[in-house]
Amino acid sequence: MPRYYSAAIRQNPNSSQLGSQLLPVMEYGSSSDPSQSTFSIIDEDHTLANSVRFTLNQDIPHPSENRVNIRVQTTGDPASEVLKDACQDLMLMCRHVRIPVVARDAHVINFRSSNLYPESLAWDPLMQHFLLGSLRQRVITAVSDSGIVETYISDTDLPADASILGLAVDTPRNRLLAVVHSYPPLPPFNALAAYDLRSRRRLFLSPLPSEGIDAANDVAVDYNGNAFVTNSGGNFIWKVTADGSASIFSKSPKYLAETNSPAEDDDDDSPQNYVGLNGIAYVSKGYLLVVQSSTGKVFKVDAEDGTARNVLLKEELIGAEDIALRSDGMAAVVAPMKELWLLKSMDSWSEGAVYDKAEVNVQRFPTSVVVGDKDRVYVLYGHVDEGKKGDSGRESFGIAELRSKRENEDESVWIFVLIGLGFVYFVFWKYQMARLLKKMNKLN
């Protein structure tokens, strides 16, 4: 029967029990076979044991007391020497630990499609691609993050030369909602179309009730499948239920309080030259955020009864075309001839503040903003201003990620904090390894 022994035994002078001993490192093994031993390290836990286990390629169970047991069996070398070598390797690894600071480039997608002139943009989280509505064609196009273009839906039942000005993905119901509008001199047409995202079959085409000067523009959808469509000409909001029933939903006098009705404009009363309510986004707390291009106002609209109130901002977002919300509640608003605003609110959008701004390429006329994968904010460069003048043969368009410089600075601060923590961690482990090696030397 093999004889077991203990090593590195020292007396504990403060112990209340006569003759009790503290064993910083205990080695249990056969005196006739030094190639296999179990080491018991006192006052250590699985943090150290797992690190040593990594260098030894051993499995260590989570301890239930303030000691760890490491079983080492070799093909001939003394187990104590192998354990010491593993600890040395661990110390070397700790010396080479570095926290990399990697600055990821902004994601830019350039794609080609003749005379597409995309006006609207949506993100399909299931298929992981962008969906684009065209100003000049009755198509919805899918664009991958590598710029591969596919005609996703082509609906020839829509009026010829109709525009798809707004898109929204209804993920719970696997639907795509599209706002269809015909610009003059085409016959007036304003409708909401719903398509199944997988079969690409149209589910319904709901004409929107007319009030004379109408320009259906953007769309948002709530968790119940109700769609809300802005009217840039009439300055009100339509509602279309999940089964396609359309009605006028919100017609607040606040929408007209600080702007002239197009009917009062003697020079030109056409809706395409007057942009009222435009971009719209649904907030999960039960309300909508709507931007008004002509005044730069942002409205908070109750999704149940349609009552509206102004969001108090110190800056008017004149020319705002679209709005999108990140999961952290920050709103991104884009104006084609200005910039991208990032807005924050601490009181559910009774008041808001411009947190930061990002420069846009006004030459490419960004008309839509969307939040894509990992809460990244993208704008669509569709050259719509050029497309409104007619087909010019343009083929190149783009989708570009825009970032907040202020957020990047905040991230840089955290990187330095992590570097500091990593350095502290390294110093701590260096101390631990030196302490362990001191204990291991007592085995010899």
Query: What are the E-state strand segments in 284-362?
Result: 287-292, 297-302, 308-310, 322-325, 331-334, 339-344, 353-359
Task: Please provide residue 386's backbone torsions phi and psi, each rounded to the nearest 5 degrees.
Answer: -75, -40
Same domain, 71 and 113: no
Tell me the C-alpha distance between 341 and 366, whole Å: 13
Query: With 0-12 CB in 10 A as exposed, 13-18 as middle and 19+ as buried, what is 42?
Result: middle
Same domain, 125 and 45: no
Count the Cβ atoms, other than its own, within 10 Å of residue 191. Answer: 21
Query: With 0-12 CB in 10 A as exposed, 13-18 as middle and 19+ as buried, what is 56?
Result: buried
Tell me the C-alpha distance between 217 and 292, whole Å: 12
Q: Which residues contact 34 (CB under 8 A, 6 or more apart)?
A: 78, 79, 80
Considering only CA atoms, which of 340, 408, 351 is closest in space to residue 378?
340
Is the CB of residue 364 less than 8 Å from the CB of residue 351? no
Considering only CA atoms, which of 169, 186, 427, 160 is closest in space to residue 152?
169
Tell me the C-alpha distance between 40 and 42, whole Å: 6
Position 407 in a domain: no
Position 202 in a domain: yes
Which of 66, 82, 101 is at the close of a domain?
101
Position 3 in a domain: no
Same domain, 88 and 220: no
Which of 101, 117, 135 is at the close of a domain?
101
Same domain, 199 and 58: no
- What is the residue whose two structure tokens read 């808001």? 352
Domain that holds residue 288: 108-402
CATH number of the domain enclosing 54: 3.30.1360.10
Same domain, 90 and 155: no
Considering only CA atoms, which of 235, 234, 231, 180 is closest in space to residue 202?
180
pLDDT of the residue at 24: 57
Tell me the C-alpha distance between 215 and 274, whole Å: 9
Is the CB of residue 281 less than 8 Å from the CB of residue 323? yes
31: left (phi over 0), alpha (psi -120 to 50) or beta: alpha
Same domain, 131 and 91: no
Position 126 in a domain: yes
Q: How many domains does the chain have?
A: 2
Position 426 in a domain: no
Same domain, 184 and 318: yes
pLDDT tens digit at each of 444 positions of the chain: 333 333 333 333 333 333 333 435 666 666 667 767 776 766 666 666 666 665 555 444 454 555 666 777 777 777 777 677 777 666 656 654 443 434 457 899 999 999 999 999 999 999 999 999 999 899 999 999 999 999 999 999 999 999 999 999 999 999 999 999 999 999 999 999 999 999 999 999 999 999 888 999 999 999 999 999 999 999 999 999 999 999 999 999 999 886 654 434 444 444 334 579 999 999 999 999 999 999 999 999 999 999 999 999 999 999 999 999 999 999 999 999 999 999 999 999 999 999 999 999 999 999 999 999 999 999 999 999 999 888 778 999 999 999 988 876 555 555 666 677 777 777 777 777 777 777 777 666
pTM for this model (two decimals): 0.69
Same domain, 330 and 367: yes
pLDDT of the residue at 123: 97
Considering only CA atoms, which of 354, 325, 321, 340 is closest in space to residue 401?
340
Which amino acid is present at 278?
Answer: N
Same domain, 114 and 171: yes
Position 195 in a domain: yes
Residue 202 CA from chain centroid, whole number: 29
Which of 77, 101, 125 is at the close of a domain?
101
Same domain, 364 and 274: yes
Same domain, 88 and 124: no
CATH number of the domain enclosing 311: 2.120.10.30
Position 163 in a domain: yes
Same domain, 219 and 272: yes
Position 411 in a domain: no
